[in-house]
Amino acid sequence: MTPLVSSYDAALFDLDGVIYLGPNAIDGVARSLAQLRERGIRLGFVTNNAARTPVAVAEHLRELGIRADDSDVVNSTQAMVRMLHKELPAGAKLLVVGTDALVSQLAEGGFVPVSTLEENPVAVVQGYHPQLPWSLLELGAIAVQRGAAWFATNPDQTRPTERGILPGCGAQVDLIADCVGFRPSMAGKPFRPLLDETVLRLAARRPVFVGDRIDTDIVGAGNVGMDSLFVFTGAHGKYDLAAADPIGRPTHIGYDISALLAPSREVETIGNGFRCRDAEAWIIDGRVVTDIVPEETEGQLDLLWCVLNAIWRFNAEGNEVLARLDLLR
């Protein structure tokens, strides 16, 4: 059987919720990644999180037993630097509302990070900060109100962790947005700069993006015309998929990244319904119905793919069947 990944020359992975949850690797990830490398697939680890440098992220991956060179990791700060060079002169002063890692990467990129309003920053650059000082947030809000341009690494409202779903960079961005009345220019997913940067660095010609969030990962892939694989190990689940707009509908679904090594999940039309492998679902009076719900995860995923196609193509009501897929979030 031909594996899904055989149609691609590179696989790009979101990190939080796809490769790891907080400090812990998701079960089976290291093995799947090693098998992908054995097939000659180029791997890229793509993160909106600018709280750590790519070197630190690569070191974390290696600690988890995952082979990763520093150059395999691309974060939103790297995309931000390229973006800033198009918008600002070299050496421009930036008030950084973020971690020391964000400060150091901006400095390495040729800009001058500052920490006071008296230094007259021409722009505010904001990234996720796990211990965000309130005073720094206030400085950012004041600088933007005084006319500084405003950039942010990413819009993620939440972060999946081993402890649960926690606030992300987007929630911190909202605090300044509430003060100034508008939102910043963004480098991270779902906006183009980060994925464009990753494709450039990997020289990928036919990549697939693997993510757990519809609003950033899947929409981001759609915005650059890239195929995507949605996995269930992180933030979003079956109801989020059912409600997704066309740009947020993935090319493939799988429980985790091992789906790249399995055959692609295909759906075919059968009368007034759909079939995926042994699973079938039909549309009757505008509702999706099925006789049997498989007990194993892969069978439930097959049925979910049928249900999603019915919902997306015909605006059918499928919540009753979705609720019966109890192995999927």
Q: Which residues participate in catalysis according to the annotation?
A: 14, 16
State both tokens at 326.
Answer: 């109890």
- Sign of dihedral through CA atoms 223, 225, 226, 232? positive
Q: Rounded to 5 degrees, what angle do the CA atoms 28, 32, 38 make?
A: 150
Cis peptide before 190 (omega within 30 of 0): yes
Residues with Cβ within 8 Å of residue 57, at least 6 apart in sequence: 15, 45, 47, 73, 75
CA-based R_g, the chain, Å: 21
Residue 161, classified by CB atoms within 10 Å of its CB into exposed (0-12), middle (13-18) or buried (19+), is middle
Report the alpha-carbon distance of residue 138 to residue 129 in Å, rounded. Answer: 14
State both tokens at 147.
Answer: 């006319």
Report the alpha-carbon distance of residue 132 to residue 150 in Å, rounded. Answer: 17
Give the residue among 308, 292, 126, 285 at the shortest CA–CA distance from 214.
Answer: 308
